[in-house]
Amino acid sequence: MSCQLSLNLRLKDGSSFSNFLAGPNREVLERLRTAVVTATTREKASEPMMYLWGAEGSGKTHLLQAACRLAQELGIAPVYVPLADVVELTPSLLEGVETAPLVCLDDVERAAGRKEWETALFSLVERLRAVGGMLVIGAIAPPDRLGLKLPDLVSRLAWGTGYALQPLDDVQKLEAVRLRAQHRGFEMPEDVARYILSRYPRDLPSLFDLLDRIDQASLTQQRRVTIPFLRRLEELGRENVETV
Task: Assess 30 for contact with a second copy (CB under 8 A).
Answer: yes
Task: Assess 4 for contact with a second copy (CB under 8 A).
Answer: no
Task: Assess 221 for contact with a second copy (CB under 8 A).
Answer: no
- Output the smallest distance, CB 99 to a second copy, in A: 19
Judged by beta carbon, residue 18 or residue 99, the one nearer a second copy is 18
Judged by beta carbon, residue 93 or residue 179, the one nearer a second copy is 179
Task: Assess 8 for contact with a second copy (CB under 8 A).
Answer: yes
Task: Assess 31 for contact with a second copy (CB under 8 A).
Answer: no
Interface with a second copy (CB under 8 A), residue total 24
Q: Using CB under 8 A, which of 16, 123, 166, 226 touches a second copy?
A: 16
- Output the smallest distance, CB 29 to a second copy, in A: 8
Q: Using CB under 8 A, which of 23, 47, 64, 69 touches a second copy?
A: 69
Judged by beta carbon, residue 42 or residue 88, the one nearer a second copy is 42
- Output the smallest distance, CB 52 to a second copy, in A: 18
Q: Using CB under 8 A, which of 55, 74, 87, 164 touches a second copy?
A: 74
- Output the smallest distance, CB 216 to a second copy, in A: 7
Cβ atoms of 72 and 49 closer than 8 Å: no
Closest CA to 94 of 61, 117, 72, 74: 117
Question: How many Å apart are CA 174 and CA 228, to the nearest integer?
Answer: 19
Choose one: 28-36, 96-104, 105-113, 143-151; the region binding a second copy (CB under 8 A).
28-36
CB neighbourhood size of 123 (10 A): 17
Question: How many Å apart are CA 56 and CA 78, to the nearest integer?
Answer: 24
Question: How many Å apart are CA 208 and CA 20, to the nearest integer?
Answer: 12
Q: Using CB under 8 A, which of 1, 84, 158, 219 touches a second copy?
A: 219
Restricted to residues 143-202, the positions that interact with a second copy (CB under 8 A) are: 182, 184-185
Q: Where do contacts with a second copy occur on this chain (CB under 8 A)?
A: 8-9, 12, 16-18, 30, 33-34, 37, 41, 66, 69-70, 72-75, 182, 184-185, 216, 219-220
